[in-house]
Amino acid sequence: MNKAVTDGIVLMPPAFEGGLDVWSSGDGTPGSDTYDGAVNAAIIAADQDLGSAIELQKTATVQKLRYMGQTPLLPGCYLKITARIKAIAGNLPTVQIAGWAGASNGNHVGGLIESGPATTLQNYGEVVEITAIVGAGNRNGVDMAWGAVPAYGHFGLDLTGSNGGIVRIDDIVIEDATWVFHRDLMDWVDVRDYGAVGDGVTDDAAAFEAADAAAGGRQVLVPQGMFRLGDSVTFQSAVRFEGTVTMAAQHTLSLTDNYHLPAYIDAFGDPELGFCKAFQALLSNTGHESLDMKGRIISLTGPVDMQAAIPDKSSYSQRRLIKNGQFYAEDNAAWSTETVTSQATYSPSNSLRLTGVTNVANIPRGAVVEGNGVGREVYVSAVNIAAQEITLSQQLYDAAGTQVFTFRRFKYMLDFSNFEKLSKFSLMNIEFQAAGKCSCVMLPQTATSFQFRDCYFTRPRDRGISSLFKGDQGMIVDRCQFLSSEDAELVANRTSIALNANANDVKLRDNRITRFRHFAVLAGSSNIISGNHWFQGDESNDGTRSAGLVLTRTNCRTTIDANYVDNAFIEWSNEHDSAPEFASEFSFSALNITSNVFLAGNVAQWFTFLVVKPHGAGHFLNGLSVTGNSFRIIDDPIDRVDSVDTSFADLDYNRIKNISFRDNTFGNIFNPVLSPAMIEFEQSSATSTWTIDLSDKLPFGAFAQTVESAIPAGPLLNGSGATVHVAPYYQAKQGPDRNQVRLQFGTPVRGAVTMRVRIDDPL
């Protein structure tokens, strides 16, 4: 690069023979004294060695010679200043190139080195050449590194030493020497060329921006050093970091051309900090929708507060994605669970609040709440210190009054809980290597369509994915693996949960989940659980099993389809209802369980695959389809596949409606159940009342509520063996357990009938 050639920039001062009125004996600034008419200066027209020259007698302690014209200093340019000099008589002086740095407003820029190397003349008549290079960057070979502030300079030389000596000086040459440091043929520009210092103290932000502006498609080099950026910086060009940068948390480094995690790790010299700053840029720079970790493993020394990485944002709703990497939890006390106990009061009329909370300031948002009458996966979603109140993620089913609650705050590798809202955010092809030390991901307070795809949640200590409020609305978890840290534990001793959700429209699809206490606790409705494989067995015989899928909303509007349910069961409860007794609501309704494979082994005989658990009286089944499933026990048989847990209350079997429990297959199940149940009954002796016992044939031990049909299977015969043409009527809900049907004939008959009996009433 030569700006004099390419841009027509005038660098050379005029020859001395043109007049000494533009040559100052001061700094060269306007109004300073010149050598025009000075008694100690004269023009020599034809020196035998120098040609046209100025003859100068040293009369001052520092005899200055400065061109009064403003020689421009351009970003990225380096100027070489050369003077040839010889001593004529008198004392031999010391000579050095010198200058005066001027800002764009005409003021002097202080604090700079304004002279080059000094040379003492040794012989009379000997021509000595002195040079110095001035430019913005503090680089090897630069004598006067002036940074980016000076806009021009007044250049010349200084004579020091004893007075009285006479010298002759050839015309001073100023030329562009940038090519020595930085040629157009090179594919990079150096931030030092634009004033960057790299001492960790000087603000180099403007120099970085200037280097980027000058790059013109080339790469920007950040050389060795620590470069402090006092403001946000955006690079449009690719950047190569040999040194590192430091900046305040609120400032953003945006790498537009090479936006990926390795670049940020190089930039900040620390993988954990680099990830946080890259995430900050992801939510600050609309030029990128995804952060590619490029397969990097980030070792975390503690939880990453994702919102703290972006202090100016607590809400964000544009699609963003982090992909292709791994997080690993290092051994550190920062993963320790916080446990706080506190007395508080709960009222069902204020069902999402704890009031009068003692020690409220020490209770962290995102803590799991434990206490009498508290269901599973109830979280602290907000803390109001002034009001001594806590907002809960779910209602409590039987906690009215005052008691001491326990609050346990697990620590998560990526913690989004300080985001008020973060929608359309995705994590893809990420492995969370929790190694039994911590949990994996805490969702934001609210969100829509938070997505996990092809991720591994490897050995979380407590939770894989936690929702503390409504951050799971429309959440999608696809093709992920949840690998428990409790493989060796008996089911009864396990405490870890793969995930929970509070809001609606959750999709869990094609995931694999191993030996957690629960796969998912879902408190919302309109969920789709499809293609998953969860298995929760242990090595015990006749062992206890836990619920793989827990649904805590009665009107759940949920489809459970084509899953592999291995040594676990589906539990349907209303434990997140502050008024758990039935009261003009849909009750247990809108659940479809279709085409699943249910398998278990080494389980107690009382084990069932489907459990309904009402927490208050009066509830009933009001829409349930269990069709096309395969139920199998691989060793000792069990009694049945379905049950009602009456620990709190039983169902109202008189009100059951709209049940389809059919087309399932049963292996090693003593009592297959159906509704409608199609049975064939044979009455061997003639009687007018036939009593058909349907115990162990109807789902959930429900009543024989309705007979759809009763068709003779062959002739009906009286006591004499004659055929009788007579139609019966039925009486349902007979017997002490109401699981019998009586057919009443107008005359005693014997024979066989085929019947279809339901546990629900006609609509």
d(CA 383, CA 3): 64
pLDDT (0 to 100) of residue 286: 67
Q: Is 283 helix (H, G, I), strand (E, B) or coil?
A: helix
CA separation for the pair 70, 151 (Å, rounded): 9
Residue 654 per-residue DSSP state: G
- Pairing state between β 338-346 and 353-355: antiparallel
Q: Residue 542 region, left (φ>0) first, then alpha (ψ -120 to 50), else beta?
A: left
**pLDDT at residue 607 greater than cutoff 90:** yes
Query: Identity (one letter) of the amino acid at 354?
Result: L
| Rounded mean pLDDT, 20-46 | 94
Please write the tens of the pLDDT for every residue from 376-420: 999 999 999 999 999 999 999 999 999 999 999 999 999 999 999
What type of residue sits at position 44? I
| Confidence label for 684 from pLDDT (cuts 50, 70 and 90) | very high
What DSSP state is assigned to residue 186? S
User: Phi and psi of 567, rounded to 5°?
Assistant: 55, 45
CA 416 to CA 444: how far, in whole Å? Answer: 5
Q: What is the pLDDT of residues 301-313, one digit of tens each?
A: 999 999 999 999 9
SS3 457: strand
Q: Residue 494: is its pLDDT beyond 80?
A: yes
Residue 185: the pLDDT is 47
Q: What is the model's pTM?
A: 0.84
- Residue 505 pLDDT greater than 90, yes or no: yes
Mean pLDDT of 422-443: 98
Q: With CA atoms as reference, report the closest residue to 22 among 72, 68, 59.
A: 68
CA distance 247 to 266: 14
What is the structure's pLDDT at 217?
86
Collapsing DSSP to helix, strand or coil, 730 comes out as: strand
Residue 310 near residue 291 (C-beta atoms within 8 A): no
Tell me the average pLDDT across 603-617: 96
Question: Is 358's pLDDT higher than 90?
Answer: yes
Annotate 385-452 with three-state secondary structure.
CCCCEEEECCCCCCCCEEEEEEEEECCEEEECCCCCEECCEEEEEEEEECCCCCEEEECCCEEECCEE
Q: What is the DSSP string of 577-645?
A: -SS-S--SS--BEEEEEES-EEEE-SB-TT--SEEEE-SSTT--BEEEEEES-EEEESSS-BS-SEEE-
**pLDDT score, position 139:** 83
Q: What is the structure's pLDDT at 532?
A: 98
Task: Give me the chain's average pLDDT, please.
Answer: 95
pLDDT per residue over 171-225, tens digit each?
999 998 887 775 544 678 999 989 999 999 999 999 999 999 999 889 999 999 9
Under the banding of pLDDT at 50, 70 and 90, the label for residue 761 is confident
What residues form DSSP beta bridges with 689? 744
Average pLDDT of the segment spanning 81-99: 96
* 135 and 179 Cβ atoms separated by less than 8 Å: no
Mean pLDDT across the stretch 724-742?
Answer: 96
Rounded to whole angstroms, how far apart are CA atoms 258 and 267? 12
